[in-house]
């Protein structure tokens, strides 16, 4: 009741709005986690390719990867374009 008064809405309207917002946030959270997981996997694959090419001395492969710029931080790898 207090929320409805503060928002100048009916109590039913507040309940419907809250229900819709929660549904939207569930979808957002699901996509956010999915996108993060995919991004971590992409970074892991790229770092593995880079490390393999560096260890084997594959200069041409490293040159192909040269277009990527990486910033290393203690617990993450960020790709800049």
Integer Cα distance of 17 and 64 in angstroms: 51
At 12 the pLDDT is 94
Per-run averaged pLDDT (10 residues), the chain, 81 residues: 89 92 87 77 88 89 71 51 46
Tell the burial category of 73 from Cβ atoms under 10 Å away from its Cβ (0-12, 13-18, 19+): exposed
Q: Structure pTM?
A: 0.44
Taking the C-alpha atoms of residue 71 and residue 77, their distance in angstroms, rounded to an integer, is 6
Tokens 């617990």 belong to: 75
Distance from C-alpha of 36 to C-alpha of 29, rounded to nearest angstrom: 10
* Domain positions in the chain: 2-80
């Amino acid at each position: 009741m207090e929320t409805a008064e503060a928002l100048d809405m009916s109590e039913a309207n507040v309940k419907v709005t809250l229900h819709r917002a929660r549904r939207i946030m569930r979808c957002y959270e699901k996509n956010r986690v999915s996108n993060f997981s995919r991004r971590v996997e992409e970074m892991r694959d790229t770092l593995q390719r880079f490390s393999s090419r560096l260890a084997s001395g594959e200069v041409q492969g490293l040159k192909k990867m040269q277009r990527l710029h990486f910033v290393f931080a203690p617990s993450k790898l960020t790709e800049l374009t």
